[in-house]
Amino acid sequence: MRPLVSASDLAAELASSTPPRLLDVRWKLGGPPGAGEFERGHIPGAVYVDLDTELAGHGAPTDGRHPLPDEAEFQAAARRWGLDDGDAVVVYDDVSGTSASRAWWLLRHAGVSSVRVLDGGLAAWRAAGGAVETGASVPEPGGVSLAFGSLPTIDADRAAAFPAGGVLLDARAGERFRGEVEPVDPRAGHIPGARSAPTVDSLDADGLLLPPDRLAERFAAFGAVPGAAVAVYCGSGVTAAHTVLAMEAAGLPTPALYPGSFSAWSNDPSRPVATGE
């Protein structure tokens, strides 16, 4: 299944007899929770999902800022959102899918086969003339059954060894990769051997994902081609999921995700950090 849905196609699906479940995953690094923004305006029928509390667990600093949630707790959250087995799901945000992709990745990892990201997010929905509603949304609880393990992941040891035989992509902004700035993690720089591939460069000027051929061309420049072993990380495993999405949209094999990402790596003094290009 293509991992994206356009605003116009989503509108048609919502008006059909079998509309998808809608999840609103508004979140920004260092920003307040998106619940207030959700209540001020969201796509009709959507349910708010809190990335920090429902799409992430909490552990030691060496687990990273957004480690994967406990499987049972994630299933309980998905049931609170009203999800049932067999539901089609669409997730969106207001940052061109770079946070909603975390929900997309987790649901896929947990065995949900029909889950897509709204291309361009809430801005694309508004630009297409889509309606919004205000207030909270509390759905009837669902009964979905989830189990992690459907998508590939790597840990810190495998991330360390990965560049020797594969392509390790860093999805953060280039200045963070180079170590010029580091707003949240204890050390600046990147995992040695990684390649800088900011996930925002997979978007066009309107915040839509680039066409598949341009995405494939972009990833080929990093060596991420069919047959290559590819893994991706970011600061805490959130925006790296967007790179996974972009690679799938390009028709490439699903890369492995390092959930702890640089926040976990940089909190471990035994792990070396590289700077520069």
Any idea which residues carry the catalytic annotation? 234
SS3 142: coil
Token couple for 259? 């959930």
- DSSP code of 55? S
**What is the arrangement of strands in the sheet containing 89-92, beginning at the earlier edge strand?**
4-5, 115-118, 89-92, 21-24, 47-48
| Opening angle at CA 210, ends 68 and 1, nearest 5 | 60
Amino acid identity of residue 141, one-letter, is: P
With tokens 């580091």, the residue in question is 182
Across-strand partners of 4? 117
